[in-house]
Structure 1
Amino acid sequence: MASDQDIVEKIDHVSSLCTERVILKAILGRGDGGAGLIGEKVVIGGWVKSSWEIRKEAAQPRPVLAADAASPEVVGAKEMRCMEILQSRIPLVRYIVKVLGGGDHSVREKFVMQKAPKDSTSILQISDGSCVHNLRVLVDSALATPCQVMPCGTCILVEGILQQPLMKGKYQVIELKTEKILHLGTVDQYKYPLSKKRLPLESLRNFPHFRPRTTTVASVMRIHNALTLATHTFFQDQGFLHVQTPIITTNNSETLSKKFQVTTLLNNGKIDNQLVNSLEFSKDFFSQETYLIDCGHFHLESQACALGNVYSFGPRFKAEKSSESNNLLAETWMVDVEMAFSELEDAMDCADEFLKFVCKRILESCTEDIQFILKRIDKAVMDRLQLIISSSFEKISYDVAIEVLTEATGNKFEKKIEWGDSLTEEHESYLVNEIYTKPVIIYNHPKEIKSFYAKLNEDGKTVATFDVVLPKVGTLVRGSQSEECFDKLRTRIEELELPKQQYEWFLDLRKNGAAKTSGFNLMLEPLVLYATGLNDVKDVVPFPRSFGRAKF
């Protein structure tokens, strides 16, 4: 049994350095559910998820005699009993006032507040976003009226004593008896979108500023956070150095993708086609054409050639209408990895180990959230994570993949596959779900469908690249070995008629101490989809940006 000092120290360790507030995970996430903290005084804050009210029983009035019927005291008693009846119907009164009252809302609210019972206790289920479970908080009407604290979404910061619950529930091991209210942020319950019954995720996209308050989205955000932390932990433990790459660049590393252009050459904040065609970029802010970066490979390779193994984690941008896809966004967060003195096989092995590590870490650190997802979203999420951890990824060449898909006569694909084509989602799904039933690594793609800087293989037709394809989300990782030969890379640039001046510095790396390098990149949002069972990346990003959508 922990001592009182141990309990206090335990609470102190999880409270913020800048506030006395204790996060609910520190209380409810204990092995005993918080029972060992009974009797402790704490400050907690959060938002009301649900609530109800308990009325305190009043003393029974004495029988009224006929002789007393006209006395002022009896009249007052009758009026009080009528008022008690009215108070017991406060939800109905509120509804009638809402429908018939018209006028100013604040007046109607005052009416309801005045009719609130003086002796009652508000029972609040509070969440602060730190864990799945809520803490039951008791607020006496002497501290705040029920209509102030009970509406869903009300923000409250209180000081009180942790105690055994007066009414035990399935998950209730402990509750908080409020002694002092330190902050109260009220809610317009008639307009607050989460006051309604549970909304589907599609509807919640219209309220991105509120949806993290839902249990589902909060769990997804915590898993998102855990994946971010696991990413840094893996590469730091493996001796990689975290470096930054610019967001604004003059290069386009992915030559097949469209770019977002960055310019200050606007006409009173507006731009039209005629102006675009006549822009003089020499007069622009950077004196040349610039774009939002879509991949950090170029800049990362330059640092790998000096620092060894490096990685970057930051935003990337692609102006593709394919961002309407459930797996793609115009603005995404990407992990870019580059390793010096390495070849394609090394990058494939690193990607394999990275995915195994982060999936294992999620199962270990997000147990409650995974259990919630199993019940509410996807019953297969645990099996899917275990599949990556325990499977030996199947490695097949692009040639083999085309051969397998061509022989799949019983499966009618919407698009007939031929050598030289990029694999579609249905092709990838067939390989991982029907043929191999586990993650698949496809390597050595035709040079026409991959980046120009990938190392040319001896056959002259394919390049040293690979894709990691997973069930549910398709291609999650894309990697390659870079072409270290100056002449071959320059020839490739000329073949594609790329602007040579943009890539002079990249070619310089091949003329001055060139090293073999390989690496890969991974978009974080599809990985969150894989770990949560959701079907659309717009539901795993707080404020998603996609084609035609940039709210808030």
Structure 2
Amino acid sequence: MKSYSVKELLTKQPIGESVEVNGWVKTFRSNRFVALNDGSTIHNLQCVVDFENFDEELLKQISTGAALKVTGTLVESQGRGQSVEIQATDVFVHGTADPETYPIQPKKHSLEFLREKAHLRVRTNTFSAVMRVRSALAFAVHQYFQQNGFYYMHPPIITGSDAEGAGEMFRVSTLDPQNTPLTEDGAVDYSQDFFGKETNLTVSGQLEAETYAMGLGKVYTFGPTFRAENSNTSRHLAEFWMIEPEMAFYDLDANMDLAEDFIQSILKYVLENCKDDLEFLEKRLLDEEKSKPQNERSEMALIEKLKFIVDNNFKRVSYTEAIDILRNSKPNKKKKFQFPINEWGADLQSEHERYLVEKHFKCPVILFDYPANIKAFYMRLNEDGKTVRAMDVLFPGIGEIVGGSQREERLEVLQQKIKALDIDEKELWWYLDLRRFGTAVHSGFGLGFERMVQFATGMGNIRDVIPYPRFPQNAEF
């Protein structure tokens, strides 16, 4: 007898066949109707267990959360809510779940409560849908790059460099904290550490990816990155996944073309392959928004928002033009912005980015040519000497989702920037070698994967789009 997934039975519907299915009980009604789900779909499969044909002790073991194997005949359902059901002839209980202690009961649970039960929350409709969308997005990322001539590169997780220059890094050390070796001037003697130098968990694989792009042409990374930023917001994680393509012989325009095409491609894949999950998540979001004040509700439903990105060309606007727009906008003049825009050089906040996308241009926006002093050292300096070839992709409801640039390929200019920022040139000797040996125009960008999953699912907190979130004072599970 063939064993099917719930999704296969609901889509193929082999009526009249004897079938076998495994899953977890979502509900057990009237001591007769079992709603079974195995994680393959948002939809449950109804199994009709005629209590007259089953031992009473067996029926007592069937409760929400129990794992079952159900054997029977797939028939057309006479009841409402499902097109097919299994008339069970045999039920095997893989494992029971005590109704008194099983925490995921068939009722509404708060997201805060479910974070405390992160090992079980994937059994809820919301989190199973989010994680299926996350999986589809990850597949779409690899598919896009593999089909477009990129090579998948694995950058080191342990590194001696700070790509972002922010210094918010997790230290990696085997030194005894109770008896730390010190140098003559009282500093920690990292020469006695495992790697013979100070090392940290990576904040970005970009610098290493650049070295491989300058040999393989086009590469991408997709792996975990870490920030020791003591931020307890709904937008920050201490451990998250980054997608970072790097391309030799790409200037900023080619970089922007790639970012736009890439984003539209992966969201199109999700729209085509996660229809049921997106419809469920959209309904959940609409129900959630009913409790919000009218002015705080989203102007677009979830699926409409995804189509908005896929179907619209991204508007390209210089930072200078954006500042003029913001400075002269009604919210700025009426002091509605939390961070008023007064002069050129301001670091744009999410409220400014969302205004440009949602109110002014009403389409996705790519800002480019930012002030050099608010961007990283590796971005190419423009001829004006005050802006760099940076670009950010802005989305509705979220603001910046992609940050990238044309990289500085000129050795002397890069050395000057490193010196001005007081970065030790010896630590980046290998990075500078790219400019000494066969330098060329090259570009890349970074996309925080969880931000994209948040956008695609409509989830309000980034802690709810990764299986086990890591944030200040929390490393449970």
Same-fold status (TM-score > 0.5): yes
Q: How does 1:237-252 map to 2 (within 5 A)?
A: 237-252=147-162
Compared with structure 1, are the counterparts of its residues 188 and 455 closer, same or farther at alpha carbon in structure 2 (3 Å cutoff)? same
Listed as ranges, the matches of 1:259-270 within 5 Å are: 259-267=169-177
Q: Do the aligned residues in 2 keep the contact of 1:315 with 1:332 (CA within 8 Å)?
A: yes
**Kept after mapping to 2: 8 A contact 1:148/1:186:** no
What pairs up with 1:470-549 in 2 under 5 angstroms?
470-549=395-474
1:73-472 → structure 2 map (5 Å cutoff):
122-141=32-51, 142-143=54-55, 145=57, 148-165=60-77, 167-170=78-81, 172-195=82-105, 197-267=107-177, 278-322=187-231, 324-378=232-286, 380-408=301-329, 409-417=333-341, 418-472=343-397
2:66/2:93 contact within 8 Å kept: no
Contact persistence 1:158–1:181 (CA under 8 A): yes
The whole-number CA distance in structure 2 between the counterparts of 1:458 and 1:231 is 35
In structure 2, relative to structure 1, the CA distance for the partners of 1:132 and 1:152 (3 Å cut) is same
Q: Is the CA contact (8 Å cut-off) linking 2:240 and 2:450 kept in structure 1?
A: yes
Q: Hey, what's the Cα distance between the residues in 2 that align with 1:144 and 1:305?
A: 69
Distance 2:163 2:191 in 1: 23
Q: Is the 8 A contact 1:38 1:163 kept in 2?
A: yes
Give me the whole-angstrom Cα distance separating, in 1, the residues matched to 2:61 and 2:209.
52
Gaps of 5+ in 1: 1-7, 9-19, 55-121
Say whether the 8 Å CA contact 2:74–2:87 is kept in structure 1: yes
Aligned AA (1:46):
G
Deviation at 1:143, TM superposition (A): 4.8
Q: Distance in 2 between matches of 1:264 and 1:23?
A: 47
Q: What's the secondary structure of 2:116's corresponding residue?
A: coil
1:391-417 Cα distance to aligned partner (Å, 9 max, x none):
111111111111111112135222223
Q: Secondary structure at the match of 1:208?
A: coil
Could you say what secondary structure the match of 1:547 adopts?
coil
Q: CA deviation at 1:266?
A: 3.1
- What secondary structure is seen at the aligned counterpart in 2 of 1:194? coil
Judged with a 3 Å threshold, the aligned counterparts in structure 2 of structure 1 residues 146 and 447 are, in CA distance, closer, same or farther, namely same
1:293 and 1:144, CA in 2 relative to 1: closer, same or farther beyond 3 A? farther
Equivalent position of 1:13 in the other structure: none
How far off is 1:321 after superposition?
Answer: 2.2
Shift of 1:169: 1.6
Shift of 1:225: 0.8
Conserved? CA contact 2:453–2:465, under 8 Å? yes
Q: Contact (CA 8 Å) 1:257, 1:320: kept in 2 or not? A: no
* Greater C-alpha Rg: 1
In structure 1, distance between residues paired with 2:57 and 2:282: 38
Aligned partners of 1:327 and 1:473 also within 8 Å = no
Tell me which residue corresponds to 2:290. Answer: none
List aligned pairs for 1:2-41, cutoff 5 A: 21-30=3-12, 34=13, 37-41=14-18
Shift of 1:196: 5.7
Compare 172-181 and 437-446 and name the one that shifted more. Answer: 172-181
Partners of 2:56 and 2:46 in 1: CA distance? 16
Q: For residue 146 of structure 1, report the CA deviation from its aligned partner.
A: 5.8
Q: CA contact under 8 A between 2:224 and 2:241: conserved in structure 1?
A: yes
Preserved CA contact (<8 Å) 1:143 1:181: no
Tell me the CA shift for residue 360 of structure 1: 1.1
Q: RMSD of aligned C-alpha atoms?
A: 2.1
Q: Matches of 1:211 and 1:196 in 2, distance apart?
A: 12
Q: Is the Cα contact below 8 Å between 1:395 and 1:443 reproduced in 2?
A: yes
Q: Size of the alignment, in residue pairs?
A: 456
Q: C-alpha deviations, 1:323-367, integer Å up to 9, x for none?
A: x22222111111000111110111111000011111111110011
1:237-286: per-residue Cα shift (whole Å, max 9, x none)? 11111111111111111013511111111336x99x9xxx7432111111
Distance 1:286 1:316, change over 3 A: same
**Bigger shift: residues 236-245 or 182-191:** 182-191
**What amino acid maps onto 1:290 in structure 2?**
T
1:310 deviation in Å?
0.7
CA contact (8 A) 2:62 2:96 kept: no
Distance 2:176 2:308 in 1: 51
Question: Structure 1 counterpart of 2:5, which letter?
Answer: I
* Conserved? CA contact 1:143–1:180, under 8 Å: no
Q: Distance in 1 between matches of 2:4 and 2:61?
A: 20
CA separation in 2, counterparts of 1:156 and 1:376?
28
**Deviations 1:38-62 (Å, cap 9, x if unpaired)?**
22222211111111135xxxxxxxx
After TM superposition, the structure 1 = structure 2 runs for residues 23-62 of structure 1, keeping only pairs within 5 Å, are: 23-30=5-12, 34=13, 37-54=14-31
Shift of 1:140: 4.6
1:313–1:336 Cα contact (<8 Å) kept: yes
| Secondary structure of 1:29 counterpart | helix
How big is the shift at 1:191?
Answer: 1.2
Q: How far apart are the structure 2 equivalents of 1:194 and 1:453?
A: 48
The 2-side partners of 1:528 and 1:25 are apart by 23
